[in-house]
Amino acid sequence: MSSGTGDLLAGGADGPGRLRALTSVVLDTLETAARARGGPLPAGGPDAVARRTAALCDPVLPEEGVGAEAALADLVRAVAEGAADPADPACVAHLHCPPLAVAVAAEVAGAALNPSMDSWDQAPAAGVIEELTTAALARLVHPDAPAPDALITSGGTESNLVALLLARERAAPGPLRVVTGANAHHSVHRAAWMLGLPAPVVVPCTDGRIDPAALDRTLAALDCAPALVVATAGTTDEGRIDPLPEIADITDRYGAGLHVDAAYGGPLLFSERLAPLLKGLDRAVSVTFDLHKLGWQPVAAGVLAVADTALLAPLSLRTDYLNADDDTEAGLPDLLGRSIRTTRRPDALKIAATFRALGRRGLSELVEHCVRTAEEFGRAVDARPALRRRPGPVGISTVLFRPVVADALGPEAGDAVVAEVRRTLLLDGRAVLGRAVAEDGDGHHRLWLKATLLHPVAATADLLPLLDLVAEAAERAARGEGDGGGGDSEGGGGDTAAPAEERLSP
Ligand SMILES: *Cc1c(COP(=O)(O)O)cnc(C)c1O
């Protein structure tokens, strides 16, 4: 039809040609920028990053545009040179995964076609792909349920919110009491707050997991008030899995609902060897399951699985422009009740492409790689006299450890050294480690460095340099030579053969 569309748009028959040219600018820039960064994140800390970034992309809204190629070259360079790149084995702070190329490529198609998942006339085939994908995920989580179902969400936060919403509606006139472990994700508390529910009752944990006896006492004290117990399969801080079978026995006994937040641990189900760690998961009425963590999807790829599709009824909604009764009666699928959102991305597409490309076995191998690597990394920590691992097993793929020099300094100064080691490595651009407060062998809570190992191909040997960096930064911090607190770097010690720091002074 009109001649100009090929110059601007990504869709149609002309769009892909234009997109190919622009995509090659993007890909070339990503390649050179990763080399220019030369590490897991940019050196110099927030001020230096802000200055370099602004230099490349300010003004963001110029009076006259610079054109697509130039804009992309600048902005992609800025965001990639200044990225914390989870594809670097030294980027292990969070449940922040390196995405698979197949999933990212599928995202390109999804973005170019731009289906919106709230009505059939915006997403005829994308809706079918979502339906097939959620059905497969539902069967994975609740294999023996007669009518399991699953929703695509923006992540664990939304999944937990919707799970609590559905439980609130089941409990009406309620009010629903939410009972959760001290190890639960903050989004459980926030969901209760957003839904106008009483603040969750918090059950103490032993060794990072819900204590079943304490849960039993808590439910007894609630005296038959409608309750939803939220357990966690893969805690964010420690990767610990609550004792699901015992918890399900207790919720059965009290007639309470059970929701399991398996945002992190859910993908263990792909592996026959590891799935038994989630025994009892299928007894939950609803399960949060993220694929942008142990599933290597670009954000967002969240799932909420429910044991029975009828549980989703509270989400159904009629609105004339999206799902009029006569359209639905005439056979147009009604998608609106599949989310609390309206306009919604085709996130199922990249998930489906990944599932089909790798198969369950391929995904299982990636999950098992992460778990095995974490065990080996944990043993490597144990073998270093300068470092100490948090006592107990490695949680899924999370290893907590701290430098031994911190222990001699007393509780506060010791924790301060741990925090400083993390910040020093961040500001130097050499490693992205996380932090977690967790119980030590003596029952005291201490600050630990956290390595969340989600790299599906990095070998253990690729991760070992992290331990050298930590040991060396800890020695310096304990001697008062660190700079992680934001003060000026002394830089004059010259005590080791460490690479020269390339800090940009403000
Ligand atoms: C990451 C995480 C969440 C939050 O999920 P988002 O996808 O970040 O919204 C919730 N619960 C647990 C246990 C998590 O690890």
Q: Residue 251: CB within 6 Å of ligand 1? A: no
Contact yes or no for 29/73 (Cβ under 8 A): yes
Mark whether 287 and 155 lie in a shared domain. yes
Span 167-213, pLDDT tens digits: 999 999 989 999 999 999 999 999 999 999 999 999 999 999 999 99
Asked whether residue 90 is assigned to any structural domain, the reply reads no
Question: What residues in the chain have per-residue pLDDT under 50?
Answer: 1-6, 484-506
Span 47-97, pLDDT tens digits: 999 999 999 999 999 999 999 999 999 999 999 999 999 999 999 999 999
Q: What is the pLDDT of residue 505?
A: 32
- Tell me which of 83, 103, 131 is where a domain ends: 83
- 419: domain CATH number is 3.90.1150.170
Q: How far is the CA of 328 from the centre of ligand 1 (A)?
A: 35
Q: What is the pLDDT of residue 223?
A: 87
Mark whether 366 and 279 lie in a shared domain. no
Q: Residue 155: CB within 6 Å of ligand 1? A: yes
| Gyration radius of the chain over CA positions | 25
b/e code 426-452 from CB counts within 10 Å (16+ = b)? bbbbbbbbbbbebbbeeeeebbbbbbb
Provide the residue range defining the domain that includes 463.
Answer: 360-503
Asked whether residue 134 is assigned to any structural domain, the reply reads yes
- Closest Cα to atom 3, ligand 1: which residue? 156
Which of 186, 205, 264 for a ligand 1 pocket mutation test, highest count of atoms within 8 Å of Cβ? Answer: 264
Give, in degrees to the nearest 5, the angle at Cα 494 between 489 and 498: 90
Task: Report how many domains make up the chain.
Answer: 3
Atom of ligand 1 nearest to the CA of 156: 5
- Closest Cα to atom 10, ligand 1: which residue? 156
- Closest Cα to atom 7, ligand 1: which residue? 155
Which of 151, 157, 183 for a ligand 1 pocket mutation test, highest count of atoms within 8 Å of Cβ? Answer: 157
Asked whether residue 183 is assigned to any structural domain, the reply reads yes
Mark whether 278 and 315 lie in a shared domain. yes
Asked whether residue 4 is assigned to any structural domain, the reply reads no
Would the pTM of this model clear 0.85, i.e. be above it?
Answer: yes
- 297: domain CATH number is 3.40.640.10
Q: What is the pLDDT of residue 497?
A: 32
Mark whether 444 and 499 lie in a shared domain. yes
How many Å separate Cα 443 from the centre of its chain? 29
Residue 187 CB partners (closer than 8 Å, separation 6+): 156, 157, 160, 161
**Angle 347-382/124-141 helices, nearest 10 degrees?**
40
